[in-house]
Structure 1
Amino acid sequence: MNRKDRAIEVRGLTKRYGHRAAVDGLSFGVPRGSIVGLLGPNGAGKSTTLRAIVGLLRPTEGECLIDGRPFASLENPATHVGVHMDGFGFEVGITGRRHLEIARLAAGAPSQRVDEVLDEVGLAPDARRRVKTYSTGMAQRLGLATALVGSPRILILDEPANGLDPDGIRWLRGFLRSFADRAGTVLIASHQLPELEQVVDEVVVLKRRALFAGPLRDLVTSDAESLESRYFELIEGVSA
């Protein structure tokens, strides 16, 4: 794959905390126009990897690139990449609309963008409610709307289906597929393997290092296999 065709590149990423490596020599690329699932058990390095990509931590070794550049060197990064990750909280005393107005101003996006993203994620009827009254699923939609407010072509999402009911999960699947079909790119970390199998084009399975990185069809090669079964074969074959 030509590097220009990769929206995200992780090259030899290592992050150590003392003598412990949270991630060790991890490399993979995320092709433009694709949905890539980042999979691994708790403590495997998924959050470390996502945080390194968006500049929230400095690698011990290696580098992470978005559109061919480190996150810190992007001009107006919200127009390149939208991020919704665990630990990115909201000011619960304000309304969903006010939260998005603040995000819009930070991203330099036009005023109409708030209404557009509220419609995109299905929160328009609840925009004037205070965030503290939102359900977990509604908060997930607000997080996605925040990621979208800068009109990025890349999304990085950490467990975006948590708290969504079955209808919400189906909606999210359709939204992400439509985003990718419009030349968008999605990197999504999730534990919901059966759901991921229905939407991802490629997967990265890691346990501090990459156990597999490539098209889903290269990992799940027959009707008798599933992403879940192949995932556990890979993970259980690696010592802690």
Structure 2
Amino acid sequence: MKDHAIEVRGLTKRYGHRIAVDELTFAVPRGTIVGLLGPNGAGKSTTLRTIVGLLAPTSGEALIDGVAFSALADPASHVGVHMDGFGFEAGISARRHLEICRLASGAPRSRVDEVLAEVGLTADAHRRVKTFSTGMAQRLGLATALIGSPRTLVLDEPANGLDPDGIRWLRGFLRDFAERGGTVLIASHQLAELEQVVDEVVIIRRRALFSGRLDDLVTRDSDTLESRYFELVEGASA
């Protein structure tokens, strides 16, 4: 088993004459939480979507457990995904949504109750998704990502809509997941919150501006992830 759960190697994605990602390279070590950061339009969503097989790279590659997503024999056991644009059928219950996902992933029937409990939605299992708050929908999205018992999670802004208690819960959940050997790649604009949970950061603006341990980025007492992020992003050409 390789040391990296995710590897992005020389990834380039073009849309006509526009370059969304340009020769991007980074790795996500197993058992870590890695934050993917960058301003709007920096290529974060393109990168995540390429990693999980929703987009084909123009050149380069994105690997999960050493192979492209399309080559994974049982993808739900390798990676769970929660991203903007992954909507729910509003008229069905949370339980029904997860049951459909369970059947698609080949997970055992017991997994539905397990993930509902993991994300704190057991009492709301029979509510229709259209009645959910944004924070509850985020928890349901995380439950969906977990349904196949994956070793790696790829999450896009999972704290959006969560109240302070929910954000604290998410932080604890992700840390526990990593301590049990799981890996998390998380894209977020909430820099102060990310600083409390990530082990490593990847800052991009089409290319990688920094990729490494948080401690190697925030080296001075006066440094914060936010201050170093803006130094790098504002110093990079648009």
What's the TM-score, normalizing by structure 2? 0.99
Aligned residues: 238
Structure 1 unaligned spans of 5+: none
The aligned amino acid for 1:125 is: A
Q: Distance in 1 between matches of 2:157 and 2:191?
A: 11
Q: Distance in 2 between matches of 1:20 and 1:101?
A: 40
Q: Distance in 2 between matches of 1:31 and 1:82?
A: 16
2:62 aligned to which of 51, 61, 64: 64
Query: Match of 1:161?
Result: 159
Counting only pairs closer than 5 Å after superposition, residues 29-68 of structure 1 correspond to structure 2 as 29-68=27-66
Q: Distance in 1 between matches of 2:3 and 2:237?
A: 34
Q: Distance in 2 between matches of 1:11 and 1:33?
A: 20
CA drift of 1:191 comes to 0.1
Counting only pairs closer than 5 Å after superposition, residues 101-180 of structure 1 correspond to structure 2 as 101-180=99-178
Question: What is the DSSP-based 3-state SS (H/G/I as helix, E as strand, rest coil) of the residue aligned with 2:150?
Answer: coil
CA drift of 1:100 comes to 0.2
Q: Distance in 2 between matches of 1:17 and 1:211?
A: 22
CA drift of 1:124 comes to 0.3
Q: Distance in 2 between matches of 1:193 and 1:176?
A: 16
Counting only pairs closer than 5 Å after superposition, residues 81-100 of structure 1 correspond to structure 2 as 81-100=79-98
2:204 aligned to which of 203, 206, 216: 206
Deviations 1:44-101 (CA, angstroms, capped at 9, x unpaired): 0000000000010110010000000100000120010000000000000000000000
Q: Distance in 1 between matches of 2:129 and 2:192?
A: 30
Question: What is the DSSP-based 3-state SS (H/G/I as helix, E as strand, rest coil) of the residue aligned with 2:173?
Answer: helix
Q: Distance in 2 between matches of 1:150 and 1:59?
A: 26
Q: Distance in 1 between matches of 2:67 and 2:58?
A: 18
Does residue 75 of structure 2 align to residue 77 of structure 1?
A: yes
Percent identity of equivalent pairs? 79
The aligned amino acid for 2:75 is: P
What's the TM-score, normalizing by structure 1? 0.98
CA drift of 1:223 comes to 2.0
Root mean square deviation of aligned Cα: 0.7
The aligned amino acid for 1:100 is: L
Question: What is the DSSP-based 3-state SS (H/G/I as helix, E as strand, rest coil) of the residue aligned with 1:100?
Answer: helix
Question: What is the DSSP-based 3-state SS (H/G/I as helix, E as strand, rest coil) of the residue aligned with 2:2?
Answer: helix
- Runs of 4+ aligned residues of structure 1 deviating over 3 Å after TM superposition are none
